[in-house]
Structure 1
Amino acid sequence: MPRLTHRQLYLQRLGYDSPPPPTLQTLQELQLRHVCTFAFESLSTLLRTPVPIDLPSIEQKVLLDGRGGYCFELNHLFLALLQDLGFDARGLTGWVVMGGPPDARTGRTHRLSLVTLEGVRYVTDVGFGGMVPSSPLQLDTDATQATAHEPYRLTLNDGAYTLWAHVGEEWRGLYVFDLQTQADIDYEIGNWYVSTHPASVFVGQLKVALLAVGKRHTLNNANYAVHYLDRPSEKRAIESADELLTLLQGTFGIRLPAHPQLREIVDGLIMANSKEG
């Protein structure tokens, strides 16, 4: 039996037996299926191992090694698939403002994509952790847009767009982006900061997320939560390395990397969390 190509394997993981047409419905289905199939995860930066973002390395990690990744990996992989399927799509970068003022200008440490369909522009993103949109969003409107999960909206100010999510009873700014054309080196610089800089919120930290119908699973170091659309979130602290590693494999569907210090580092997360608690 002939070996599947990476594209065939990718589509198979997303539930397709053959390439779907480049339509809005396909884009919507692809984004939702992706965020419910491939985990956002920072095990590499937790373990302080390199995070290469060339496409062959990402395909090896995500499609063959059973891992997930973060925005510079997942959105690169997703963009390559969209372009392969015939979508008019290109990459963008943005500034993360979640947790801070929505007009802050941080570094360009987020990657997303712009897709144009029949003259209408959409942003698509499969790599923004626990608040990743589960549907593409029309760019040139400030109207509230429903997704398969929470409502989102986009606002424009001086050439920069802000993405907002409606969480609980408030609108939260997530990230700001513009439409500047990006070269490979732009992604490399952002990824280098995210994966190596001492001030990066990812270095030495574990951040994991995976969506499902009507809910979001998130893991922040040793704090696990399930956020529902129709009822309060369930939150608990993970109390052992075995419990955390089982959660990564079971709930998040991650094949654990073969790293000699993985359990020791996870034990450190549990201990640090118990002291904070």
Structure 2
Amino acid sequence: MSDSVDLNAYFRRLGYQGERRPTLATLAELQHRHVRSLPFENLTPFLGEEVVLDIGALERKLVGDGRGGYCYEHNLLFLDVLNQLGFQARGLAARVFWKEHPDARPPATHMLLAVVIDGETWLVDTGFGALTPTGPLKLDTGDPQTTPHEPFRVLNRGESYQLQARLGDTWRLLYSFDFREMWLADYQLASWYLSHHPRSHFVTDLVAARVGQGRRHTLLNDRYTVRYPDGTSQARALAGPDEVLAVLEQVFRVRLPSPQALRLALEEKGVVR
């Protein structure tokens, strides 16, 4: 494979047949199709395998092999696609506050993108998992912004920005970010930490997420949840490793790399009853 994503193969994966001009409409359609077609999942680090971030490996895994990945994999792939289409785009880093106390001091371990179109900057993220934005978000307003799913808002905090999502009647802080220049080496370092540290939840827990029509599907070990834009949700415990594998294939549309190894990992790590 080349050093760039095969756009024709990527568009077939998304079922995209639209314009290839660097417009806001193109960006919005590609982002929505990406997060609906390519699942968020951590099978690679969960199985103790290496997460490789070069473009050839990302295309092979997410496009060719029917897999998903986590933030670095999704956003590096999407960044390459945008650059090929002529967008002015670059990667940023964020500190994740989702499920953290607002006074926490988390490291900058999440990747997102900034895309400039006609002089306006848009936040784009295809890999936040349970609450990945499903449309581009404008930076120069703190007003709520509609997406195909929940409303989001981007708040300017002086030297940084905050991304928040509205769940029901409550605004929840997802992450904060700034415009520091980030290099591939920065993402490789953070990705290695997340995929190797013995207490990283990408190592200890099975995680998956996929956007559906008017809903979100999430999986944490054996707990499968369907979340709706109004903040309501339905959750149930899956009945053992076999049902977990079936849900990964049928709901999250992950082509399992090694079902037997995954079944063994679920049992050895004790994350499935």
TM-score category, normalised to shorter length: over 0.9
For 2:105, the equivalent position in structure 1 comes to: 105
**C-alpha contact 2:167 2:230 (8 A) present in aligned 1:** no
**C-alpha contact 2:79 2:91 (8 A) present in aligned 1:** yes
For 2:8, the equivalent position in structure 1 comes to: 8
* CA–CA distance in structure 1, aligned partners of residues 68 and 272 of structure 2: 24
Question: CA offset at residue 66 of structure 1?
Answer: 1.1
| Paired residues for 1:125-274 under 5 Å | 125-230=125-230, 232-258=232-258, 260-268=260-268, 272-274=271-273
Amino acid at match of 2:198: P
3-state DSSP class of the match of 2:204?
coil
Query: Over the residues paired in the alignment, what is the CA RMSD in angstroms?
Result: 1.6
3-state DSSP class of the match of 1:246?
helix
* CA–CA distance in structure 2, aligned partners of residues 110 and 258 of structure 1: 27
After superposition, the C-alpha distances for 1:102-129 in whole angstroms (9 at most, x for unaligned) are 3533111100100000000001000000
**C-alpha contact 1:107 1:190 (8 A) present in aligned 2:** no
| TM-score, scaled relative to structure 2 | 0.94
After superposition, the C-alpha distances for 1:50-103 in whole angstroms (9 at most, x for unaligned) are 101111111111111111000010000001001111111011111111111335
* CA–CA distance in structure 1, aligned partners of residues 76 and 19 of structure 2: 18
3-state DSSP class of the match of 1:225?
strand
After superposition, the C-alpha distances for 1:184-233 in whole angstroms (9 at most, x for unaligned) are 11111111111111232211211100001100000011100111235831
Identical residues among aligned pairs (%) = 43
* CA–CA distance in structure 2, aligned partners of residues 125 and 7 of structure 1: 19
3-state DSSP class of the match of 2:263?
helix
* CA–CA distance in structure 2, aligned partners of residues 158 and 82 of structure 1: 28
Question: CA offset at residue 273 of structure 1?
Answer: 4.6
- CA 1:273/1:248 → structure 2, altered by over 3 Å: closer, same or farther? closer
After superposition, the C-alpha distances for 1:156-181 in whole angstroms (9 at most, x for unaligned) are 22311110000122111101111111
Amino acid at match of 2:35: V
Amino acid at match of 2:143: A
**C-alpha contact 2:42 2:202 (8 A) present in aligned 1:** yes
Structure 2, gaps ≥5 residues long: none
> Which stretches of structure 1, 4 residues or longer, exceed 3 Å deviation after superposition?
271-274
3-state DSSP class of the match of 1:33?
helix
Question: CA offset at residue 242 of structure 1?
Answer: 1.4
Query: Which range moves more in the overlay, 222-231 or 113-122?
Result: 222-231
Amino acid at match of 1:264: L
* CA–CA distance in structure 2, aligned partners of residues 195 and 27 of structure 1: 30
Structure 1, gaps ≥5 residues long: none
3-state DSSP class of the match of 1:203?
helix
For 2:56, the equivalent position in structure 1 comes to: 56
Amino acid at match of 2:14: L
- CA 1:149/1:90 → structure 2, altered by over 3 Å: closer, same or farther? same
* CA–CA distance in structure 2, aligned partners of residues 162 and 56 of structure 1: 32
1:72 matched to 2:87? The reply is no
* CA–CA distance in structure 2, aligned partners of residues 32 and 17 of structure 1: 14
- Corresponding pairs, count: 269
Query: Which range moves more in the overlay, 106-115 or 93-102?
Result: 93-102
- CA 1:260/1:233 → structure 2, altered by over 3 Å: closer, same or farther? closer
For 2:42, the equivalent position in structure 1 comes to: 42
3-state DSSP class of the match of 2:37?
coil
